[in-house]
Structure 1
């Protein structure tokens, strides 16, 4: 009996409603309830109808639905698949439904956001204690309606989380200690957004030097004027990419002293008000 299935659907070859039964619990598809792995590569987009369900696939451990744009009802049904460890979805939703708090075994969560949406990591996200890898095109910890973090417990920590991107944060004082909730991150991509009527000089960056296991960091800023990151960097960094920032010589000196740094990428950066950067001195400091 098949325990895994990969689907490449082409609606030009056969009719979906009559032939495709994995998502229909009313069809005689005895193998479906025994599936451990299901992957849909491409082709569905918005083709699945109201008859489609996921709740009967209760043994699934790996679910890859990047070939399907999920309806709200299907997204909610994923929360019934309590054995899931690996999940890839494509959705227009602005946040994860409360049912996701049931996914106590989930380790990998990948979300392909559609139509430029930004996924709010709602309170149910904080109950996923086994999460190790979270990858989204855009996500945020702040509820846009109240502009406050979605975390309900200040002492909560997602200690197993190793990868988090791309997370968007407002450049406010509230974000300075935000990464205390993810103390063991190894890969992080974060973009700082400028608040309305706020100059670059007033932008606040989160402290990144508290992430003692961080090896790869992509830090960018999304505004016209260049803000300055004044905090330190984790000594564990191997790859550092900075974009849209103003860098002083003190900042460059701190980067030069990172003992494990192997790759430095600077894009659209300003170095001390346009002065020439002495790269030879930088690398001399690296080797000293």
Structure 2
């Protein structure tokens, strides 16, 4: 029966603290009625090795099945297969689940008792029973009044409403959501409208959902129903969904607010940030959508199995790709003059100069399957005045203007997002960026010009982005820049999110001035650690061996003294503070001393350390003042784990008694650091 809580129960098992620490790998897979074997295998592998997700998208079913089996072999794993409707799905997947008799577990949820019976190995299927009246009332009370009982005047009507939910927890939760929008004086009228004779199960849940839908504001109804065309059980990226809403005209700009800000409010009003085990998952009932004649909307995007093509020339959103990428940019789209959202996946080397004919286009997303790392965008793309979001995946988009065109009047005033811009460093970089005056999110990779030798020493290596006052999120990669003569960037003062990779260490002083940062990610400070793998300690060495083998870092231009070297340091000055910083990531950094004497990170909640093989010291303030909730360690030596463990000890001493350490133990050296009973601070470690 739908709505009994099968998925909720499996989720509680999956996320239980005792189990996080007990398995090498955990994976959650939504199967549902409509599925593809390749998609299920990719979803499981994506949980196990998220860093390889892009590689899995190019492999076929046989290769994926073998990859999964090899990954799980000799490892203890927990796999959840949620909402299985067909025993064929289980028979396809089970060959990739090795049984090494090491305590691995697989949990299946299904509405079909026959599926559960056929798939069982060691235990009989566990059938959930409906709630009794008192249990339904208790769930309703906890949802509406978490810390109190019903007010006296609502106790009787609360019980009446709980009984009308037919013992289905899902119906109780949906009903609670409706009651939150009703004045308490209206509860009696609402209870009278509820039918106690509705059919239990799926039909009752549909009735409850429809009742909830009828109560939401008209401006949100279309946003809600737009979920209908998506494949059930698959994740829907929130940002892309909001862009589609805007393209369809569901969301309008309000006074000084951007359309995206209005769309985000609509999303929160509708979904209230419901948490699922692996990302967000939203569903709508097709019967409601059909009743509203709403599924006539055209939608085509890069979700596997969700590809249609409109016969109308005034469709608002469309995409191309399907199960195989397009060889060339499809010329058919040129006639879709009303198009406002276009997403395309293919092998094309460039975008044709005819694309600006789509004068109404607001969102343009291109995903390259393979080939060169740059796709050429036409120079006249600058004339697309309505363009709001421009994104390129798996490569960079080159939209550079010729030097003799830098002074032309083209300005993309409405462009808010540009992902993966290939920014060729030359004298006109600042002029090019001034043509994006209202950009809010920018991700780009800097490159040396082909004629860099001809530019000579007179070419300025200082660039300013300070005039981009509306820029909130910036990602910069200096990987293709000559680090013997690095570029220095003056950063916008209002940045909230900053990601830098292969950056010159001299930029750290500019970073310390960004007091509005909420997210900061720093990786590969000037040198790629992967290029020096021979210098890294061997994975089978003891931690004492690590200390002896890690080479000291000599800063560029300096010579080591007789037997000592100068270490690379991040000494945070006492007056420096990041008051709004919530997330900090250091990846493949060569600093060995990270120190500070003040309270530099008063609001830090999450710290991630990855490939920091040289780190020997961390600021004391991380243990004394910061309200840390999570620390994640990936591919770091045990010496870093001990630094983190000291932070946890200090946090407890300062009064944060609700600390909890979670650790994925990939080798025996972790055993000595394991603690039980700690609550709150999560420490994950993944070691080679």
Q: Is TM more than 0.5 here?
A: yes
Residue 244 of structure 1 corresponds to 502
For 1:100-139, list aligned pairs within 5 A. 100-117=355-372, 118-137=374-393, 138-139=396-397
For 1:25-44, list aligned pairs within 5 A. 36-39=297-300, 41-42=303-304
Residue 213 of structure 1 corresponds to 470
Decide whether the 8 Å contact of 2:441 with 2:473 is kept in 1.
Answer: yes
TM-score by length of 2: 0.32
CA distance in 1, matches of 2:567, 2:304: 50
TM-score by length of 1: 0.71
CA distance in 2, matches of 1:116, 1:252: 35
For 1:194-273, list aligned pairs within 5 A. 194-196=448-450, 198=452, 204=461, 206-223=463-480, 225-226=482-483, 228-248=486-506, 251-270=507-526, 273=556
* Among candidates 256, 276, 280, match of residue 568 of structure 2: 276
**Structure 2 CA distance for partners of 1:152 and 1:277, relative to 1, 3 Å:** closer
The Cα offsets for residues 56-84 of structure 1, whole Å up to 9 and x where unpaired, read as 43121111324252354x62211211111
- TM-aligned CA deviation for residue 97 of structure 1: 2.1
Decide whether the 8 Å contact of 1:35 with 1:60 is kept in 2.
Answer: no
The Cα offsets for residues 104-129 of structure 1, whole Å up to 9 and x where unpaired, read as 21111110013234222213412321
Aligned-CA RMSD value: 3.6
**Structure 2 CA distance for partners of 1:267 and 1:150, relative to 1, 3 Å:** farther
- TM-aligned CA deviation for residue 149 of structure 1: 6.1
CA distance in 2, matches of 1:237, 1:114: 32
Residue 576 of structure 2 corresponds to 285
CA distance in 1, matches of 2:436, 2:405: 12
The Cα offsets for residues 136-161 of structure 1, whole Å up to 9 and x where unpaired, read as 02200237xxxx36968622111110
**Structure 2 CA distance for partners of 1:59 and 1:36, relative to 1, 3 Å:** farther
Decide whether the 8 Å contact of 1:36 with 1:59 is kept in 2.
Answer: no
Indicate the structure whose relative CO is greater, using CA pairs within 8 Å and at least 6 residues apart: 1
- TM-aligned CA deviation for residue 35 of structure 1: 5.5
Decide whether the 8 Å contact of 1:176 with 1:205 is kept in 2.
Answer: no
Residue 93 of structure 1 corresponds to 348
- TM-aligned CA deviation for residue 191 of structure 1: 0.5
Residue 12 of structure 1 corresponds to none
**Structure 2 CA distance for partners of 1:203 and 1:197, relative to 1, 3 Å:** farther
Residue 181 of structure 1 corresponds to 435
* Among candidates 47, 64, 70, match of residue 319 of structure 2: 64
Count of residue pairs the alignment pairs up: 246
Partner SS, residue 509 of structure 2: helix
Decide whether the 8 Å contact of 1:242 with 1:266 is kept in 2.
Answer: yes
**Structure 2 CA distance for partners of 1:205 and 1:133, relative to 1, 3 Å:** farther
Decide whether the 8 Å contact of 2:439 with 2:468 is kept in 1.
Answer: yes
Q: For structure 1, which runs of at least 5 residues remain unmatched after alignment?
A: 9-33, 46-52
Residue 164 of structure 1 corresponds to 418
For 1:77-88, list aligned pairs within 5 A. 77-88=332-343
Q: For structure 2, which runs of at least 5 residues remain unmatched after alignment?
A: 1-225, 233-294, 528-554, 557-565, 579-599, 601-688
Decide whether the 8 Å contact of 2:315 with 2:338 is kept in 1.
Answer: yes
Partner SS, residue 285 of structure 1: coil
Give 1 or 2 for the bigger CA radius of gyration: 2
- TM-aligned CA deviation for residue 203 of structure 1: 7.9
- TM-aligned CA deviation for residue 235 of structure 1: 0.9
